[in-house]
Structure 1
Amino acid sequence: MSVRELIVLGSASAVPTKARNHNGYLLRWDGHGLLFDPGEGTQRQMTHAGVSASDVTWICVTHFHGDHCLGVPGVVQRIARDGVAHPVDAAFPASGADFWARLRHATAFRDTGVIRERPVAGERMPLDTGDAPFSLVARRLSHPVEAYGYRLEEPDGVTMLPAELAARGVRGPLVRRLQEDGRVTAPDGRTVTLEECSVRRPGQKVAFVMDTRLCDGVRELADGVDMLVIESTYLDEDADLAVEYGHLTAAQAAKTAAEAGVRHLVLTHFSERYRVEDEPRFADEAAAVFGGEITLVHDLDRIAMPPRRLTGPEAGQDLGHG
């Protein structure tokens, strides 16, 4: 059975705290593992979370501030040490290629050849995901250094309607052939089309938005996603600091989610200026403007993707993700 979940490896901002490690987020998706912003200590956090270097198929860096990338050397060296054989694609801002090179080769170790660099540039850049069951795009954000957010999308599929199939005598191998070919000949000689026996199943979508002010990129990434993982460094009382340092408040993140039609809002990247007892204020601030599901993350949380949406009757036979 496929697994789609977010594993939070760290949730602090610039300075880690006793309760929160530097950033790190592993999105598990049907056998793939996208590791976003591995900050300092990510390798150890992966051990605590019960995931290994072999689970990683992508490393996606939003920008080259330390809390978002200082874990790269440890993760790469663990990939080498564990003998990971599959390719690991690495996306990062092209303007920070020198920083990537320093991190990638930070110490002496027996190197690995599985890392495939995928530098991103421009306002919006699709990334080549090969035969992976999703597409991935990087979108420019607004931060003092060049930064990108990422959006993962599953292709739309179909959900078969058992009652419609039965009414037309389509069963067994004919169902699969109908899904693959778009039409079949039923036992009574009638031609049956896929449209008659199915409803469209929108592909699931996730957006990952770290350090940024409000901008068009944030809104584009968040548009209609099932899960929005987004920084909420500050409370709204410190909105002036958010603008100055290129960050969002919890209220701004929630307003973005509400306007974009997000289903599950995941808040993270909290400033060390706030105390543990301040945490409920982030959730309360977000809930005041967003009526959907809200998760204020803690390290090592595991957050499942929301159930998928259908465009027609919800009763049906789900024949996979494609």
Structure 2
Amino acid sequence: MSSRELVVLGTSSAVPTKSRNHNGYLLRWDGFGVLFDPGEGTQRQMVRAGVSAHDVNAICLTHFHGDHCLGVPGVVQRIARDRVAHPVSAVFPRSGTEYWRRLRHATLFNDTQVIAERPVAGDVQEVAADGAPFTLTARRLCHSVESYGYRIEEPGGITMLPDRLAAYGIAGPLVGRLQREGRVTAPGGRTVTLEECGVPRPGQKVAFVMDTRLCDAIKPLADGADLLVIESTFLDADAGPAEEYGHLTARQAGRIAADAGVRRLVLTHFSERYGAEDEPRFAEEAAAAYAGDIVTARDLVRVPVPSRHRPGSAARP
């Protein structure tokens, strides 16, 4: 059975708080794990969340501000200590290669050879993540330093319809052959195609958008996403500082989700200037633009990727 969920390890921005760790997000996708932006304390948060170094197949950094990468040394050393044997792709902005290597080799330890560097550059790049059952695309955002957003997208497929298979007399090994080859000869002698026995199944999509002000790259990252994980550092009253420092507000995040036809919106990366009493306002401001499912992320929660069944539009006029 497939399991696709976001394990939230940290939700603060530049400064951690008593209730919010620095960033950290593990996307679990049918046994393949992508760890986004491991900030300081991520290794411990993984333990608290019940996930291990063996669950990590790729590490994706959006940029090299500390709240998005200071957990790299601990995660890398845990991968080595726990003798993770599978390849682990390390994806990061090429312009920050010097910082990656400082983090990667921050202290003495018995090193591991399983980590393969996959630096990204330019406005858009498809990334070769070892063993990934989906495509991983990076797009350059607009922050005070070079920053990238990521989009995960699996290929579309066909959902088999049992009644149609039965009508054509296709059963047992013939079903697998039909799926592999696209056509089979039915017991009655008729050639039956895959399209006659199934309906198109769209591939699922997840977008991860961290530190950025509004820019053109966000829409293709978020377009049609089943799950959008996006920074909402500020409330709308602080839209000025958000623009100045290269961040988004919760209202802007909601508008992005509505315009892109997102199915589930996860707000995160909250400024430490806001207290617990302000938390409901993030969802309220996002909901002013977006009528879909909104999750105000908290440390250690798990957010399922919505199933492939698609309800009506979530955008408000």
TM-score calculated relative to the size of structure 1: 0.95
**1:86 and 2:86 equivalent?**
yes
Name the residue aligned to 1:33: 33
Q: Give the whole-Å Cα distance in 1 for the aligned partners of 2:194 and 2:53.
A: 41
- 3-state DSSP class of the match of 1:256? helix
For 1:71-82, what aligned pairs fall within 5 Å after superposition? 71-82=71-82
Structure 2 unmatched ranges of 5 or more? 312-317
Asked if the contact 1:201/1:309 (under 8 Å) is kept, the reply is no
Q: Give the whole-Å Cα distance in 1 for the aligned partners of 2:237 and 2:37.
A: 27
Deviations 1:56-87, CA, capped at 9 Å, x for gaps = 01000000000000000000011111111111
Name the residue aligned to 1:266: 266
Equivalent residue letter for 1:207 = A
Asked if the contact 2:87/2:130 (under 8 Å) is kept, the reply is no
Shift, 1:216, TM fit: 1.0
Asked if the contact 2:250/2:286 (under 8 Å) is kept, the reply is yes
**1:257 and 2:236 equivalent?**
no
Name the residue aligned to 2:174: 174
Q: Give the whole-Å Cα distance in 2 for the aligned partners of 1:131 and 1:183.
A: 28
Q: Give the whole-Å Cα distance in 2 for the aligned partners of 1:224 and 1:173.
A: 35
Asked if the contact 2:21/2:41 (under 8 Å) is kept, the reply is yes
Deviations 1:179-213, CA, capped at 9 Å, x for gaps = 11111111111111111111000000000000000
Q: Give the whole-Å Cα distance in 1 for the aligned partners of 2:303 and 2:250.
A: 19
Q: CA RMSD in A?
A: 1.1
For 1:19-30, what aligned pairs fall within 5 Å after superposition? 19-30=19-30
- 3-state DSSP class of the match of 1:248? coil
**1:12 and 2:12 equivalent?**
yes
Q: Give the whole-Å Cα distance in 1 for the aligned partners of 2:52 and 2:167.
A: 48
How many aligned residue pairs are there? 311
Name the residue aligned to 1:164: 164
Name the residue aligned to 1:275: 275
Deviations 1:261-303, CA, capped at 9 Å, x for gaps = 0000000000000110100000111111101111001000001
- 3-state DSSP class of the match of 1:21? coil
Asked if the contact 1:199/1:310 (under 8 Å) is kept, the reply is no
Asked if the contact 1:200/1:310 (under 8 Å) is kept, the reply is no
Name the residue aligned to 2:315: none
Asked if the contact 2:89/2:130 (under 8 Å) is kept, the reply is no
Equivalent residue letter for 1:59 = I
Shift, 1:310, TM fit: 6.7
Deviations 1:19-73, CA, capped at 9 Å, x for gaps = 0000000000111110000000000000000011111010000000000000000
Q: Give the whole-Å Cα distance in 2 for the aligned partners of 1:226 and 1:240.
A: 30
Q: Give the whole-Å Cα distance in 2 for the aligned partners of 1:110 and 1:131.
A: 25
Name the residue aligned to 2:110: 110
Asked if the contact 2:142/2:246 (under 8 Å) is kept, the reply is yes
Q: Give the whole-Å Cα distance in 2 for the aligned partners of 1:12 and 1:130.
A: 30
Moved more, 162-171 or 7-16: 162-171
- 3-state DSSP class of the match of 2:79? helix
Moved more, 84-93 or 166-175: 166-175
Name the residue aligned to 1:51: 51
Q: Give the whole-Å Cα distance in 1 for the aligned partners of 2:206 and 2:4.
A: 11
Please identify runs of 4+ aligned residues in structure 1 that moved more than 3 A: none
Q: Give the whole-Å Cα distance in 2 for the aligned partners of 1:69 and 1:91.
A: 12
Equivalent residue letter for 2:276 = V
Equivalent residue letter for 2:186 = A
* Matched-pair identity in %: 71
- 3-state DSSP class of the match of 1:216? coil
Equivalent residue letter for 1:83 = R
Name the residue aligned to 2:205: 205
Deviations 1:191-242, CA, capped at 9 Å, x for gaps = 1111111100000000000000011111110001100000000001110111
**1:289 and 2:289 equivalent?**
yes
Asked if the contact 2:39/2:66 (under 8 Å) is kept, the reply is yes
CA shift in 2, pair 1:255/1:15, >3 Å: same
Shift, 1:130, TM fit: 4.4
Name the residue aligned to 1:319: none
Q: Give the whole-Å Cα distance in 1 for the aligned partners of 2:130 and 2:34.
A: 14
Name the residue aligned to 1:305: 305
Q: Give the whole-Å Cα distance in 1 for the aligned partners of 2:65 and 2:235.
A: 21
For 1:130-145, what aligned pairs fall within 5 Å after superposition? 130-145=130-145
